[in-house]
């Protein structure tokens, strides 16, 4: 059996080494390191893949979130709602811009923002909602878009973990996650579903004016050379990273399909144990298709009951089976984001999940014997 890794980037690279090496060497030969033709080419391909008018590449996913809030002109004091159960970057940029983060509890089943609780925290200072499609599963965009419309709020999708996922509305309309709200923000961090060989990110929007504004913001607020109309940042996707992504994008659907197949095998194998709750697949769907909700399994995250999660984690460590706890601490308990306005009673699900979740190895190169081995060890421990 091949050595089990949480994410196996080497095996993935080996299969497309020729394409990727060529693309990268071309950039080096041409010395077009910043804003080279590969950046444009990747941008166009991604616009087509997502069926969106504008993709604006940038330096990383955290910047993409920050720039989206700058682009929407959010001002200090504006309240921005997001989930308590996410990677800190989502709330970090809200705080950095001196906006006021308002954290909301998640649903136990999907790990995504609880829309009933979301609506309760809206007031006249609320300006935007940032749903996170956590672990690759789309948040309830039907409900979120209708709440946003009713209260005239912006929607910024944190799509860092869900590129390639799609969401089906009751009307039958299907859209890729990240293209539904006013803006989508994504990350190309190496371990994400579409990863480059360093840092990278992008913003998505169908709004021409917003796209224009954002293209300036990522480049020092310059719309004409050395004319700075707004305060911007320096946030570019460099050409080497764009070349890698340009070569990898055509494989994204097959990577996501492999993740779904691995998830399916985990779930089949882990059935029938009282102390494990396997993740919910939205709509029971396990295919990449254009007409249903899909879950692209950035993580395969299970819940371990009866306070056994930490013992299981230790057991897996002893067996050298990699695993992750995403996320061990609710954001409202982190010193940086603590506020006396929050009460533990507001976040029962987040608090429970932080004690119960464990993520198993998940990537496009997982093999059946590896999954079987992992599941056997979990089962024998919990028996």
Ligand X SMILES: *Cc1c(COP(=O)(O)O)cnc(C)c1O
Give me the residues that bind ligand X (CB under 6 A), please: 60-62, 86-87, 89-90, 132, 158, 160-161, 187, 189, 199, 201
Which residue's CB is nearer to ligand X, number 43 or number 60? 60
Residue closest to ligand X when measured from CB atoms: 61
Task: Check if the beta carbon of residue 275 is closer than 8 Å to that of residue 305.
Answer: yes
Which residue's CB is nearer to ligand X, number 62 or number 258? 62
In the complex, least distance from residue 382 CB atom to ligand X, rounded to whole angstroms? 28
Which residue's CB is nearer to ligand X, number 87 or number 337? 87
In the complex, least distance from residue 65 CB atom to ligand X, rounded to whole angstroms? 6
In the complex, least distance from residue 126 CB atom to ligand X, rounded to whole angstroms? 21
Select from 194, 164, 200 the least CA-distant residue to 57.
200
In the complex, least distance from residue 186 CB atom to ligand X, rounded to whole angstroms? 8
Is the bond preceding residue 201 a cis peptide, omega within 30 degrees? no
Which residue's CB is nearer to ligand X, number 132 or number 282? 132
Q: What is the CA radius of gyration of the chain?
A: 21
Measured from the Cβ of residue 308, the count of other Cβ atoms closer than 10 Å reads: 16
Task: Check if the beta carbon of residue 304 is closer than 8 Å to that of residue 278.
Answer: no
Q: CA angle 177-287-52, nearest 5°?
A: 25
In the complex, least distance from residue 367 CB atom to ligand X, rounded to whole angstroms? 25
* Max Cα-Cα span within the chain: 67
Instruction: Write the burial class of residue 157 (CB in 10 Å: 0-12 exposed, 13-18 middle, 19+ buried).
Output: buried
For residue 69, give Cα distances in angstroms to 23, 128, 177, 347.
33, 9, 18, 25
Which residue's CB is nearer to ligand X, number 135 or number 266? 135
Which residue's CB is nearer to ligand X, number 67 or number 102? 67
In the complex, least distance from residue 139 CB atom to ligand X, rounded to whole angstroms? 11
């Amino acid at each position: 059996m091949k050595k089990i890794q949480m994410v196996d980037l080497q095996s993935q690279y080996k299969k497309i080494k020729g394409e990727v090496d060529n693309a990268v060497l071309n950039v080096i030969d041409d010395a077009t390191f910043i804003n080279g033709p590969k950046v444009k080419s990747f941008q166009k391909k991604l616009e087509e893949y997502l069926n969106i008018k504008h993709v604006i590449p940038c330096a990383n996913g955290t910047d993409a979130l920050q720039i989206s809030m700058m682009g929407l002109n959010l001002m200090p004091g504006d309240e921005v709602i997001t989930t308590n159960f996410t990677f800190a970057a989502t709330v970090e940029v809200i705080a950095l811009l001196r906006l006021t983060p308002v954290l909301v509890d998640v649903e136990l089943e999907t790990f995504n923002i609880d829309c009933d609780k979301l609506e309760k925290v809206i007031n006249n200072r609320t300006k935007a909602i940032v749903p996170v499609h956590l672990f690759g599963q789309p948040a309830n965009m039907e409900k979120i878009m209708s709440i946003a419309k009713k209260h005239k709020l912006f929607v910024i999708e944190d799509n860092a973990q869900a590129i390639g996922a799609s969401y089906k509305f009751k009307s039958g309309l299907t859209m890729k996650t990240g293209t539904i709200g006013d803006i989508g923000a994504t990350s190309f961090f190496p371990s994400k579903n579409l990863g480059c060989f360093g840092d990278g990110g992008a913003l998505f929007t169908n709004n021409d004016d917003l796209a224009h504004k954002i293209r300036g913001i990522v480049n020092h607020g310059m719309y004409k050379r050395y004319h700075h109309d707004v305060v911007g940042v320096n946030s570019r996707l460099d050409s080497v990273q764009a070349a890698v992504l340009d070569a990898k994008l055509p494989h994204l659907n097959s990577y996501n399909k492999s993740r779904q197949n691995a998830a399916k095998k985990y779930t089949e194998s882990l059935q029938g144990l009282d102390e494990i709750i396997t993740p919910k697949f939205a709509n029971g769907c396990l295919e990449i298709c254009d007409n249903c909700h899909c879950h692209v399994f950035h993580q395969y995250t299970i819940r371990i009951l009866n306070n056994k999660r930490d013992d299981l984690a230790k057991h897996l460590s002893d067996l050298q089976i990699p695993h992750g706890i995403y996320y061990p601490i609710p954001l409202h308990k982190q010193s940086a984001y603590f506020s006396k306005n929050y009460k533990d009673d507001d976040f029962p699900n987040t608090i429970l999940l932080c004690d119960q979740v464990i993520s198993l190895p998940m990537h496009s190169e997982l093999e059946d014997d590896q999954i079987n081995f992992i599941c056997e060890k979990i089962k024998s421990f919990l028996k």
